[in-house]
Amino acid sequence: MNPPILSRRSFLTATATAAAASLYWMGAEAAAERPRKRIALLGTEVRRHSHAQHFIDRFLLGYGWAGGWRRPAVDLVSLYIDQFPEGDLARATARRHGVPIFSTIAEALTLGGSSLAVDGVVIIGEHGRYPKNEKGQTLYPRYQFFKEVMKVFENSGRSVPVFNDKHLSTDWAKCVEMVADSRRLKFPFLAGSSLPVTRRMPAIDLPYGTPLSESVCAGYGGVDSYDFHGYETAQCMSERRNGGEVGLRHVQALRGPAMWEEVARRDTTQRLVVAALTRSHNLPVTEGYPTDAVTLAWARKVFPDGLAFFVEHRDGFRTTLFLLPIQDFNYAGLNQRTGEIISCQMYLPMPMHGSTTADFFNPLIHHIERMIVENHAPYPVERTLLTSGMTMAGVESLHRAGARVDTPEMEVRYSAPKASLFWQD
């Protein structure tokens, strides 16, 4: 039997394949020899379903990714935990995995030494027993944790990437200072919600530079908590509009009839809230109501006491966030040039819905890993600076009984990443 004839094209293909395989394995071996990055996690409390529990478990045990189980690309080597409530999981988890809990943030970052000894810092200032101010905002110590980290960076003469869970602070000047610190000390700074990078149903993104005129999010939850998730849901789409983000002009919060009266004056908002609600998987049963269709009249009948935040940006763009008795976060935006509505749900399955894995955290963990390993934030912290401002301005408007709050200080200009970063596998 004669051997097969190898054509020039086949030869080149085979050679290229062999070379690629060789380079792959050489790269894998080099990666295996390279020291793994080490991180410190600073949390307020660790109990079942707390944010810190979700982050710690994934960094220590891994998480589902691309159809398999992913070992994190970084090692969690130290903890600082501020509170130990009934049902605390921090101490047992730390003992089981041999990760020390230090008594101060400085010790967690220096591993008990005199200078910075980790390659990344994760701040989870969410949950725990903390005071509220007169506006109802919980005064989580995110800013205080961050400033303790800055002291270690300054004393050590170097800095490393930092992630901050959720909004930056309840005070605008502190938010601005945190971002300025990251610029001054030249470290990648990532922050915000898991919703911008979680699964989308359907898996769509706005083309970069879309002539968008308004974004609407229909979501749920409380003020100064889940409203932040709604703003991030909208902003990760809005920032892709033609011209990029330019900052806020004013915010107004309205409830019940006053909310629906304002919506009635906005043709675009009416169309978009209906489009967003049609993406929900948790609309209430409306037996006896004369139609099964989701319409504005239906929404007004079913959600008479809703809450909405009406945000105007400096370029005339609008963001409208509805907090309603549903159980998911849904986006709709209008292409001003074509009249097309783009809509999707951003997947946030709650544990009480049968999910015990809360896998919407997985892509956020993945992006934190990428930032620490590559020393580059995958998307700009200015997004969360702006959504922190939206959140506090909305709270202020509610505190003033629905008065419009002007925000001349919130001139935040930035461009969105051109790549689509949400979870698509």
Sorted by sequence, the CB contacts under 8 Å of residue 302 that are 6+ apart come out as 283, 284, 286, 289
Question: Residues 6-65: pLDDT tens digits?
Answer: 344 443 344 444 444 444 444 444 445 678 999 999 999 999 989 999 999 999 999 999
Q: Can you name the CATH fold of 34-192?
A: Rossmann fold (3.40.50)
The model's pLDDT over 132-169, given as tens digits with 9 standing for 90+, comes to 999 999 999 999 999 999 999 999 999 999 999 999 99
Q: Is 199-354+380-406 the same fold as 34-192?
A: no
Contact predicate 76/60, CB 8 Å: yes
CATH class belonging to 199-354+380-406: alpha beta
List pLDDT tens digits, range 261-289. 999 999 999 999 999 999 999 898 776 55
pTM metric for this prediction? 0.90
**Residue of 179, 76, 77, 162 whose CA lies nearest to 125:** 162
Neighbours of 69 (CB within 10 A): 10
Domains of the chain, residue spans: 34-192, 199-354+380-406
DSSP 285: P
Instruction: Report pLDDT digits (tens) over 179-225.
Output: 999 999 999 999 999 999 999 999 999 999 999 999 999 999 999 99
Q: What is the mean pLDDT of the chain?
A: 90
CA–CA gap between residue 201 and residue 424 (Å, rounded): 10
